[in-house]
Structure 1
């Protein structure tokens, strides 16, 4: 009955044009049932921007997101791509360059507050530029910031002024990269929202992008977050995200290991040092996760008997909803510095230069790879 009432009231949001729905707050077009019948009928996301100057995060699947990206190439705009430094390869939009055409791309790297304070910022920026280039992304600039901690945001504003040149700004990114936090800062600092939003409706657009008006008649276009199922954050239950995602600087954990030793990262991932000289490994993961070291020969039995309990979360019940492990065999060559990157979880820095053979057991589908060391 309520869905019929919704259909009769309006099929799409008067603000952003997306089809309205009352089932999922996390998907585009969500409208609380209590709001049905109000005029104009706008989704909760548009309502929050209009009344509270605050954008909320929504997500779409890859096909819908790629259709939206494809429309950007025909515009004359600045594209701001927000990525999560803690999950860099997992949050970088693959193939973005071919969708945006000749439009300049400003890469905003969020969550730098999670790294140790002694980190060399210039070295970090160079690392980001190199990794982005290897992924085929051409950028006009790289800005490091923490929207949550208000670090480096002045530089984000400066870069927008420097590269926008009177054009619209499209903001794109994956889910859980802090895009909404950064958009909210832009609304407060960069857009004359009060004047614009009390005198007119939102300019609508296709799909579910929201236009946030600027003083010069242009707009910041807030696009929904793309869901990458290759990230651990999309695999674990939402109730466990608080343990998986750090909210303060990580305290790296260093382990001296001999070959034939294993480490469990909670009950989520198993790290096996299969072959190599004794060396140290530094784990950059949430400090809320338990770490447990054992011998490789005992690892299978230990996991079978103590997953979700002694090894730490997720719980046994939550583990039932997570895909079974698959093994990734990685070989680090002699004389090179590498990270073992596990998307959505963090990374392990291989500190020795004598080479190593490593096996990673992680939920099927989660991206696991070797990369040049960040730190």
Structure 2
């Protein structure tokens, strides 16, 4: 059976029955049962993930992931590059232009269902294009979708079919941007099969490329996600990530702050109003259930040190031992702006103030023109 190189339907790993700790492991009895009954074969890792939401460590290295992606440059294909609109910098694939060669790139901003209703989507599309250009990416188009709710996926499929011009389609993205969930929606619409590819909020679910046939003989190829250390998700377990990363449409929360006041976003981020002429209103767009605590700037450092892991949680449990220090990023605004903490959300601030955003080391904090 193993000579036929069976692959896990969920993650693409080669099925094996000899190493319980290795990728693609299936107990021999379970494999025989699945083959005898002509059933889909899921490795032990995917089975545990699907039924118990438990993740196992991935033994593939970043170099292994990149070597798979590097095969794309020798193809003639459309590249669908999926990014998280709440974590653009954390969604960047270093050296993407080397992986894709001369192939055109269609960028897809995922998780649009989380945006507040007042958000200007045209401004977001323009901003994504600007950020892509700064990183050497020249997309032929930008689409906003929600893989989770299936919003605008029909339109995306129409755009893909038009722009691929009879070619294969490679779907690429770093971990945790919802790429496999989007692929699942595509499969569901084209074949009626639900949850074919294992999905999880944990990094590193898809371990090898998975090929989905198209009607004209071409394929949509789902590639493994590259684990990116600049993601907030990289530092949190699945339970805490549900608390930090937005799960439903964001409801704005407004705070009247005097200069030298601080907002803590649980223990994962911090916002300081450093200097301004007067008391101003600041609006936070973060996960609706995330704990936000206001304090004086003068007390902020000691408050964080004394309450991280209890009042200021997440992070919690084992994550506390490995959670990186918060790094300060200061900005002076000349117009109404959004201070963005990647993977968390943003705080809308008025013009003419000096503010600072704090995030775990390597997680990006940036300023942009307000989109509301």
Question: TM (normalized to structure 2)?
Answer: 0.80
Q: Distance in 2 between matches of 1:122 and 1:57?
A: 40
| Counterpart contact for 1:262–1:273, Cα < 8 Å | yes
Q: Distance in 1 between matches of 2:193 and 2:35?
A: 20
Structure 2 counterpart of 1:245: 245
Listed as ranges, the gaps of 5+ residues in structure 1 are: 1-7, 49-55, 195-206
Matched, 1:348 2:351: no
Structure 2 counterpart of 1:81: 81
- After TM superposition, list the pairs within 5 Å mapping 1:171-190 onto structure 2: 171-190=171-190
Q: Distance in 2 between matches of 1:163 and 1:268?
A: 40
| Counterpart contact for 2:81–2:106, Cα < 8 Å | yes
| Counterpart contact for 1:22–1:31, Cα < 8 Å | yes
- The farther-off stretch of 339-348 and 58-67 is 58-67
- After TM superposition, list the pairs within 5 Å mapping 1:90-101 onto structure 2: 90-101=90-101
3-state DSSP class of the match of 1:122?
helix
Query: What is the total number of aligned residue pairs between the two structures?
Result: 341
Question: What's the CA shift for 1:161?
Answer: 1.2
Question: What's the CA shift for 1:319?
Answer: 4.7
| Counterpart contact for 1:289–1:312, Cα < 8 Å | no
Structure 1 counterpart of 2:290: 289
Structure 2 counterpart of 1:225: 225
Deviations 1:92-141 (A, max 9, x none): 32432232111111111111110112323333322322222222211111
Structure 2 counterpart of 1:3: none
3-state DSSP class of the match of 1:273?
strand
Compared with structure 1, are the counterparts of its residues 319 and 65 closer, same or farther at alpha carbon in structure 2 (3 Å cutoff)? closer
3-state DSSP class of the match of 2:67?
helix
Q: Distance in 1 between matches of 2:249 and 2:227?
A: 25
Matched, 1:303 2:301: no
Q: Distance in 2 between matches of 1:158 and 1:65?
A: 29
Structure 1 counterpart of 2:338: 339
Matched, 1:150 2:150: yes
Q: Distance in 1 between matches of 2:186 and 2:96?
A: 22
Question: TM (normalized to structure 1)?
Answer: 0.80
| Counterpart contact for 1:191–1:215, Cα < 8 Å | no
Structure 2 counterpart of 1:30: 24
Matched, 1:280 2:281: yes
3-state DSSP class of the match of 2:312?
coil
Compared with structure 1, are the counterparts of its residues 341 and 158 closer, same or farther at alpha carbon in structure 2 (3 Å cutoff)? same
Compared with structure 1, are the counterparts of its residues 301 and 217 closer, same or farther at alpha carbon in structure 2 (3 Å cutoff)? same
Compared with structure 1, are the counterparts of its residues 308 and 323 closer, same or farther at alpha carbon in structure 2 (3 Å cutoff)? closer
Compared with structure 1, are the counterparts of its residues 170 and 22 closer, same or farther at alpha carbon in structure 2 (3 Å cutoff)? farther
- After TM superposition, list the pairs within 5 Å mapping 1:1-375 onto structure 2: 9=2, 13-14=6-7, 16=12, 18=14, 22-23=20-21, 29-33=23-27, 35-36=30-31, 44=43, 61-190=61-190, 208-278=208-278, 279-315=280-316, 317-333=317-333, 335-350=334-349, 352-358=350-356, 360-375=357-372
Compared with structure 1, are the counterparts of its residues 110 and 17 closer, same or farther at alpha carbon in structure 2 (3 Å cutoff)? closer
Q: Distance in 1 between matches of 2:94 and 2:348?
A: 24
Q: Distance in 2 between matches of 1:216 and 1:230?
A: 39
| Counterpart contact for 2:15–2:26, Cα < 8 Å | no
Listed as ranges, the gaps of 5+ residues in structure 2 are: 48-54, 195-206
Q: Distance in 2 between matches of 1:14 and 1:291?
A: 45
Deviations 1:299-358 (A, max 9, x none): 22322333233334333x34523323133231224x2343322222222222x1113142
Q: Distance in 1 between matches of 2:259 and 2:66?
A: 44
| Counterpart contact for 2:89–2:230, Cα < 8 Å | no
Compared with structure 1, are the counterparts of its residues 140 and 190 closer, same or farther at alpha carbon in structure 2 (3 Å cutoff)? farther
3-state DSSP class of the match of 2:175?
coil
Q: Distance in 2 between matches of 1:123 and 1:365?
A: 26
| Counterpart contact for 2:235–2:319, Cα < 8 Å | no
Q: Distance in 2 between matches of 1:47 and 1:270?
A: 36
